[in-house]
Amino acid sequence: MKKFNIRKVLDGLTAVSSSSSSATAQPGTPKENDTVQESLQSEHFQLCKTVRHGFPYKPYSMAFDPVQKILAIGTQTGALRLFGRAGVECYCQHESGATVIQLQFLINEGALVSALADDSIHLWNLRQKIPAILHSLKFNRERLWGSPTHCMMTSIVNKLRVHRITYCHLPFQSKWLYIGTERGNIHIVNVESFTLSGYVIMWNKAIELSTKTHPGPVVHISDNPMDEGKLLIGFECGVVVLWDLKSKKADYRYNYDEAIHSVAWHHEGKQFVCSHSDGTLTTWNVRAPAKPVQIITPHGKQPKDGKKPEPCKPILKVEYKTTRSGDPFMVLSGGLSYDTVGRRACLTVMHGKSTAVLEMDYHIVDFLTLCETPYPNDFQEPYAVVVLLEKDLVVIDLGQIGYPIFESPYPLSIHESPVTCCEYFADCPAELIPALYSVGSRQKRQGYSKKEWPISGGNWGQGTQSYPEIIITGHADGSIKFWDASALMLQVLYKLKTAKVFERARGKEEKPSTDKVDEDPFAIQALSWCPESRMLCVAGVSAHVNVYRFSKQEITTEVVQLLEVRMQPEFSEVDSPDPGGEHTPTFPTSGAPSSPQESEPSTQPSTGSNSSDGPRDNIPCLQVRSSPLKQSPGYQVELVIQLVWVSGEPPQQITSLAINSSYGIVVFGNSNGLAVVDYLQKTLLLNMGTSELYSPTEPYQRQPRSPRKARQPSGALCESNEGSNPSEDRCRSPTSGSTSPCNSDEERKQNFIEKVKVKSRRFSKTVASDFAKMSRKISLSSEPKSDQAPTVQPRDRCQRWRSLKVKKNACYAKDKAVAGMTQKRALCRTKSDPNCYAKDNAFIRSRSSSVTSIDRESREAISSLYFCESFPRKLDTLVSPCLLVGTTQGSVMMMSLSVPPGGDQRLQQPVSIASCGTLARLKGGILTMGLLDATGTLLPPSYEPWYDPNASDEEKEKGRRRRPASPPSSQEGQDTQFAVLCSEKQAKVVAMPSQTRIYKHSITETSFVLRADVVQMAGANCIACFCANGHIKTLSLPSLRPLLDVNYLPLTDMRIARTFCFSNLGQALYLTSPSEIQRITYSQETCDNLQEMLSELFTPVETPEAPNRGFFKGLFGGGAQSLDREDLFGETTAGKASRSLAQHIPGPGSMEGMKGAASGVVGDLARARIALDERGQKLGELEERTAAMMASAESFSKHAHDMMLKYKDKKWYQL
C-alpha cells in the first residue's frame, strides 16, 4: 500500500520542528532562483572595534600634556580616554580592569604612565594611532623595612600587606618616576627600561625619630622648582618633609594638626601651600618649618574674638599659579562650610582680593590648571581650568571676566538624559546633514568663551570614507538627538524635545496619587525615521505616538491634533463557561474600515471615567498641550496618537512602529494588537487584536484565553507544563512568546492535530494514524534526549487544552459583542486627565498591575512591521502596497493596502486594508523583514521625497511626486521576489508570489538573536545578527549561507540589547556604558583602512625654551639647580632593587603590534618610518652627548690653562 504523503498538510509544523544548523533548500525550488549570483564571501567580513564616543564612564583621574595639548582621562573600569582637537579621540583599555588612580605624561615625548589600583604601572606609547603598552611593572608584597623599633611599632600594619601605590610624580624632562606607597615609602622607577632603582626613601627615615605613630600613606610628591635635589613629601597625617636626595636625609619637617590632601609650590621654590581636611589652607616658607606663614579658611566664618574659624569640608585639591603682570591664581575644590547642606559641588578661584565660587552640576573628580609653560620654575601664566566632573567635562576660561566656559567640541552629552533607544543610518542622503545642522545651530547656548578650545592636539585621520552617517538617540526625558557620525567622528546636529506637546504636572495636587507613576513619562520607546522624506515617528513609554514633519520655517500650532485609540485587550475575564461551539473572529473586508473614524477628528474631550469609585476608562496617560505651541524650524509635530485606559487597565507599551511617507500611514502594535493610522486624514484605519489578524482556516491561529484564569495554580492547564523542554526554556528570548503551556508550540501542534482528527472525516483511520506518528516525531525532535519519559502524554495534554479552549472561545464570543463598539473607537481632543501612568526605568515591563509576568509573556505581541510593494496573495500577478506583520510567536502575516491616488483624492477617499493570511511561521519572535527582487537586490519601501509643508503650493506639488513603484514583472507560475524573514531562532527566504519557502537557516539553538537587520554591504545584501551569547553572525541572501560567526560580546547588560543596531556598509554600534557609544565594523575593507581613518595623537612639536636665568642669577647661583639623577639613581651608585619587590612585564609594544597589523608595502613603509624615527632620536641623543663632552673638554682645557699660568713662574719649593 502506498504511504500517504502529509508533507504539504504539515508544512508549518515541519518548519517549526526543523533543527538543522545550515541553510537548506526547499524541494521544488524554481529554477529561476538558481540564477541569483551572490557576490558576498567570507573574505569580505572581519569584525573589529573602530572608535568610542561619549563621556568616560566613572572617571577617576586626569592628566594634560601642555606641549602636545592632549588630555587623558582614566576611569574606574581601567579605561583610558585621550582627547585632542575636535574629532581626535582615542580609547584604550587595561586588561586587568582596575581603577586608574593616576596618570603622568612624558611631556612632548608621546608617552603616558598609568598607575592602577592593582599595584601596577604601565607605559603607553602614544606615537601610534592605536596606543599600546610598552612596559608594565607589577609590585609584589613589600618587605618590612626600617629599624627594629619602627618594625615592632608597625608590625601589625605591615604584616602581609600588599604594596599599594598612592601617588606618582614624574618631573619635567626626567626619566625617573617617583612612586609613593600606602606604607609611606617612595620607590623610583626608570621609565625607559621600567626597572626599579635601588634608591628608596623609607618613611622611618623621613619622619622624626621621636614619632610614635605611622605617618600614613604618601599623598604628595614634588621636587622644588628651583632645586631638583630637594623632594617635598606629604604624608596623610599632616607631616610634610623636604628630603635631600643627595645626602639622603630630611632637611626640614613641617607639622600640622590636620590631614593633608594636596600640596602646591610657588614657582620660585620658596613657599608652598597645603590643603587640609578641616577646610584650611596653610602657606609655609621653606626655611621656616616651625609654623605656617598664613592660615586661611576660604569658606569659613571668621569669628570676631580671634578664635579659630569653624571647620569646613576638606579641600581636596589646591593649585597655586603665578602670573607676570598680576596677582597669582589659587584654584581649589571643596572646602565649603558644613552649613551649606544640599549645595552643589563648587570650584573656587581666588585671584588677588576676589574670590569666585563656581557651582558645578556634578561632583568634582579632579581638576587641572592649564598654563603657558611646562617649566615649573617659571611664571605659569594660567589661562584655563579643566574640571573633570562625575558626568561632564568643563573647561573654564580664566582670561575673561566672569570665568565663562568653553564650548566643548566633543560628544560628551550623550548621557545628558539616559539613552533608551538608538538607531544607526549609514549612507544617508547627502543633503540631510546640512539641513539638520542649519536648524540645530540655532539651538546652541549663548555665553560661551570666544576663545578657541584649548585642548587642540593631534591631527585628523585621512580616511577614504565619504558617505554620510547619522545616529539617532532617544532619551528618558523625551528628547531625540541627531548626530553626525561621518568619518569616525560624532557631532550633535539637532535636538528635538517631544515633551513640548504635552502638559507637565506643576504642583503636587496635579500629580497622581498612586505610586505607579514613572519618573520619565516621556521616555522614548521606539522610533521610525524615513531619511528620504524626513518623516519621523516616535513612540513613548506612556503609550503615545508622535508624528513629525521637517520644516525650515517657524510656525505656531494653535491646536495639536490628537487621536485617541482604544486597544481592547483580546483576552477577557471568563465569567461563566458556555458550552457553545468554537468562535472564529472575523476580519473586515477591504472596502469597510474597521473603525468609524472617517470624518474629521473632533476637538472635544472624550467622556472618560476617572473617579475614585470606578476604574479608569478612556483616559490617556498624558495630557496634550491645550495652549498654542510655537514650533521652531526643524521637526514639527503633525499628529499625536495616544492609547487610553480600558476598564481600569493601563494601555500596553508599544512594541513595534513603522511609518511610510508614500502611503501616509503609521502602523504600531503591542501585546493587545495592531493599529493603523492615516496621519494625512488623521483617522484610525484599523484596530484589531493579534488573534483577529489570523485567517479563520489557518493552523497558526491563536485562541483567546483568560490571563486571570491562567494564574490559578491548580487545574489541567498547569499540569500540562510537565512535558516542557527545560533546555529550550533556558535559552528562550524574553519576547519570543509564552512560557505558559497553553501557548507553547507543542500545544498548538497538538491542538491542530486534534482538530484535523475530529473535523476531517474524509481521512481514513490510516491517515489519522499517520498524523499521530508525525506528532510523536515532532515532539521527540523538539525535546532533548532523555531516558525518562514525560509524565503527561501528548494525547491527554491535547484533550485538556481542547476542552479549556472551547470554554474560553465561547466566553470570548460573548464578550466580543459587548466590547465591539468600544474597541474601534478614536477621538481627537486637546484635553485629558493629568493623571498618567508610565513605565519603569527598565523600559521593558508591562504597565498593568493585574497581569503577572507569565501572562504578559503569553500574549502574542506585534514585534516587527515592514512596508513593501509585493504580491499580497498567491495568485496575484501585480505588485501592490503591502504590510508585513511579525509577531512574538513567530507568525508573519501579509496585509494588502489600497491607497487612493495623490492630491485631493488622497485626502478625501479612505485607505482600505485587507488581510491576506499568514505568509510563514518561524521559531521565536520576528525581528526583521525585507524584500528582494529576482536578482537579489534589496527593494526598499517606497517613499515620498521631502518637501517643506510650510512652503508654497508649487513646491509642495513638486515634492509630493512619489517614487515610482516597482513595475509588475511576475508571470503566472514564476517567482520574481524573495521575502526575507528573520526571527530570534532562524531565518527563512520565501519566494513570491508562490509563497514557497526556498531557504531556511537555524541561526542558534542554545541562545536567541537580540537584533537582526537586512543590510547592504559591498554592493550586495546580507542579514546581520547579534545573539545573546555574544556571537555576531552574517548570512548571505537569498541562500542564507553563513559568512561570519565571531564570539564578540556576551550580553552582560540589557542596555546592550536595547541599543545594539546594524547599519549598511558594515557598520554597527551599541551603548557600552550609560555614557559611551562603541562603534564597530564587520567589513574587511573598513578594517584594512582603519589605520588611515583613525586620528593621530602625537604630532612633532618643539619643546619651548627654558626660562632665562638672567645674568645676576647665573653669576651668583640664584637660578634653578639641576640634578644628575642618572648618577644618583643609577645602578652604579644606588645598586639594584630587590627582585621580590616588583615584576617587570614587557608589553606588546608598538613595533610588535604594528608588525602584526601591517602587511605588504604599507607595513614595510611603517616599519621603515619607525626605524628612521628611532635612528633620528638616537642621533639626536648622540649629538647632545657630543656637545656635552665638547663643553666638558673645553672647560677642562680652560682649567688646565689657568693652572699652567698659575704655576708657570714658581719654583718647586714655592708650590
pLDDT at res. 1214? 60
Q: pLDDT tier at 568 (50, 70, 90 boundaries)?
A: confident
pLDDT at res. 820? 38
What share of the chain has pLDDT > 90, as a percent? 56
Lowest-pLDDT range of 631-640, 673-682, 688-697, 1000-1009? 688-697
C-alpha cell at 695: 485567517
pLDDT at res. 1192? 82
Query: How far is 107 from 19, CA to CA, in rounded Å?
Result: 60
pLDDT digits (tens, 9 = 90+) for 852-862: 344 444 679 99
Q: pLDDT tier at 1081 (50, 70, 90 boundaries)?
A: very high
User: Is 343 exposed, middle or buried (CB count within 10 Å of its CB: 0-12, 13-18, 19+)?
Assistant: exposed
User: Is 441 exposed, middle or buried (CB count within 10 Å of its CB: 0-12, 13-18, 19+)?
Assistant: exposed
The CA R_g of the chain, rounded to the nearest whole Å, is 37
pLDDT at res. 1006? 92
- pLDDT beyond 90 at 802: no
pLDDT at res. 612? 52
Considering the entire predicted model, what is its pTM? 0.78
pLDDT at res. 683? 96
Q: Is 313 helix (H, G, I), strand (E, B) or coil?
A: coil
Closest CA to 691 of 843, 583, 792, 548: 583
Q: Which has the higher per-residue pLDDT, 719 or 31?
A: 31
pLDDT at res. 1213? 59
pLDDT digits (tens, 9 = 90+) for 596-606: 333 334 443 44
pLDDT at res. 1132? 78
Q: Which has the higher per-residue pLDDT, 472 or 342?
A: 472
CB 939 within 8 A of CB 931: yes
Q: What is the arithmetic mean of pLDDT over 78-82?
A: 97
pLDDT at res. 19? 38
pLDDT at res. 1127? 85
What share of the chain has pLDDT > 70, as a percent? 71
Query: How far is 188 from 1129, CA to CA, in rounded Å?
Result: 8
Strands 562-565 and 634-643: parallel
- pLDDT beyond 50 at 811: no
Q: pLDDT tier at 379 (50, 70, 90 boundaries)?
A: very high
- pLDDT beyond 90 at 1001: yes
Closest CA to 1004 of 1, 7, 21, 58: 21
- pLDDT beyond 80 at 1003: yes
Q: Which has the higher per-residue pLDDT, 103 or 304?
A: 103
Q: pLDDT tier at 529 (50, 70, 90 boundaries)?
A: very high
- pLDDT beyond 50 at 767: no
Among all chains, which residue has been given the C-alpha cell 541553510? Answer: 23
Q: What is the mean pLDDT of the chain?
A: 79
Contacts of 821 (CB under 8 A, 6+ apart): none
pLDDT digits (tens, 9 = 90+) for 1097-1155: 999 999 999 887 655 555 555 556 777 888 888 887 877 877 778 888 888 864 444 44
Q: pLDDT tier at 614 (50, 70, 90 boundaries)?
A: low
pLDDT digits (tens, 9 = 90+) for 359-370: 999 999 999 999
Q: What is the arithmetic mean of pLDDT over 421-425?
A: 96
pLDDT digits (tens, 9 = 90+) for 823-841: 333 333 333 333 333 333 3
Lowest-pLDDT range of 27-36, 135-144, 467-476, 761-770? 761-770
C-alpha cell at 999: 531557504
Q: What angle do CA 96, 101, 106 make, to 5 degrees?
A: 95
- pLDDT beyond 60 at 848: no
Q: Packing angle between helix 765-782 and helix 794-823, nearest 10 degrees?
A: 90
pLDDT at res. 1137? 78
Dmax (CA) of the chain: 144
- pLDDT beyond 60 at 11: no
- pLDDT beyond 70 at 377: yes
Q: Is 333 helix (H, G, I), strand (E, B) or coil?
A: strand
Measured over the CA atoms of residue 954, residue 955, residue 958 and residue 963, the dihedral's sign is: negative
pLDDT at res. 1181? 74
Q: What is the arithmetic mean of pLDDT over 185-211?
A: 90
pLDDT digits (tens, 9 = 90+) for 1162-1212: 545 555 666 666 677 677 778 778 888 888 888 888 888 888 787 777 765
Q: How many CB atoms lie within 10 A of CB 1192?
A: 10
Query: How far is 62 from 103, CA to CA, in rounded Å?
Result: 6
Q: pLDDT tier at 576 (50, 70, 90 boundaries)?
A: very low
Lowest-pLDDT range of 792-806, 944-958, 1010-1024? 792-806
CB 1046 within 8 A of CB 770: no
pLDDT at res. 725? 43
pLDDT at res. 1014? 97
Q: If residue 1025 lies in a helix (H) or strand (E), which one and from where to where?
A: strand 1020-1027
pLDDT at res. 1123? 78
pLDDT at res. 463? 66
- pLDDT beyond 80 at 221: yes
CB 1076 within 8 A of CB 54: yes
Peptide bond before residue 1100 is cis, with ω within 30 degrees of 0: no
Contacts of 1172 (CB under 8 A, 6+ apart): none
pLDDT digits (tens, 9 = 90+) for 456-500: 999 988 766 678 999 999 999 999 999 999 988 999 999 999 999
